[in-house]
Amino acid sequence: MKIRIRLFLIWIQRQLGILDTHTCPRRSEPGQFGHGIENEDYWYRRKKDRTCSYCGSMHPEDFNQVLLRVITDPACTIDISDKPYKIYINRPEVHNSDDGALKYYTQHGIVFWENEVIGGVDRRIHAAVTVSNERFKKILEKRHN
């Protein structure tokens, strides 16, 4: 879609109040571009993912589904980047940012399951990273044998 048409549709959605706006927590960090501007960011769809208009992060609820998928689907993995708050998401159906979100910023928060404490979320992310790392190790071993 042409950028002007897309921006016009966003403007109409804002006027009608149907756009789910928020202030991206990354924008709120001192020194970031657009720091101090409130409620200008929104979640938009890239295929089935909701993506932050400011930072490109996947929506926390969608990321929660990714964590569940990593455990059961060998084709889906996550990697912690050199920045501890940035997590890369690898799925076979997502080749670039037009297909869906490629990353998750932990500043966007975490989704709690019922009766879950913070350690539970940490364990869930840790389990997903461990499974991903084991798969990557096996791929490397195959290449070198």
**Binding pattern for the stretch 17-46 against Zn ion, x by CB under 5 A and - elsewhere:** -------x-x--------------------
The closest alpha carbon to 105, from 68, 51, 65, 45, belongs to 51
- The residues near 145 (Cβ < 8 Å, ≥ 6 apart) are none
Do residues 101 and 49 touch, judged by C-beta distance below 8 A?
Answer: yes
Of residues 54 and 94, the one with the C-beta less far from Zn ion: 54
The closest alpha carbon to 42, from 12, 68, 69, 64, belongs to 12
Which of positions 115-144 make contact with Zn ion (CB under 5 A)?
none
* Binding segment (CB under 5 A) for Zn ion, from list 7-15, 16-24, 69-77, 91-99: 16-24
Q: Does 52 bind Zn ion (CB under 5 A)?
A: yes
Q: Which residues bind Zn ion (CB under 5 A)?
A: 24, 26, 52, 54-55, 57
